[in-house]
Amino acid sequence: MEENKFIIHGIQYDMMIDHCSLYLPYEACGILAGRNNEVDSIWKLENELKSDRRFFISKNKIEDTVREISKQGKDILAIYHSHPTTTPVPSYLDIVNHPDPSVKLVIVSYKLNVLKVKCYDISNGLYKERPFSITPTH
């Protein structure tokens, strides 16, 4: 068995895609939480900038969400956002604004005809693709 495998449950994966698709043409973002590298809950955040290139969420909103997640005994495993017009590669700002190397970065890109979802580890100003698997929805 592969150690440290990153798993996103199908339901949360679909909810993430729906959130990003519904939010077009703007950039959407949110938090994927769970336990032991397995995502089992999703926390959609509102992009207060209504931009297709950047997002901004107030500090209060983030703190409330982080508190709620830990109250439920879960960890923040990844932060996701969409790239409505660019490839699924972290931008310079994505990297410098990334809050914590233990949290993964997921990008949902609409640049190409086929939707692309990529996951990355971010540390020391560098990104590295992190494969993930999606559990089937029952």
> Residue numbers of the site for Zn ion (CB under 5 A)?
91, 94
Q: 21 vs 91, which CB is nearer to Zn ion? A: 91
Closest distance to Zn ion from the beta carbon of 65 (Å): 19
Q: 52 vs 94, which CB is nearer to Zn ion? A: 94
Q: 37 vs 91, which CB is nearer to Zn ion? A: 91
Determine whether 36 is exposed, middle or buried from the number of CB atoms within 10 Å of its CB (0-12, 13-18, 19+).
exposed
Closest distance to Zn ion from the beta carbon of 81 (Å): 5
Closest distance to Zn ion from the beta carbon of 134 (Å): 21
Determine the residue with CB nearest Zn ion.
94
Q: Are 109 and 83 in contact (CB under 8 A)?
A: yes
d(CA 38, CA 32): 9
Strands 126-129 and 116-123, bridge-based pairing: antiparallel
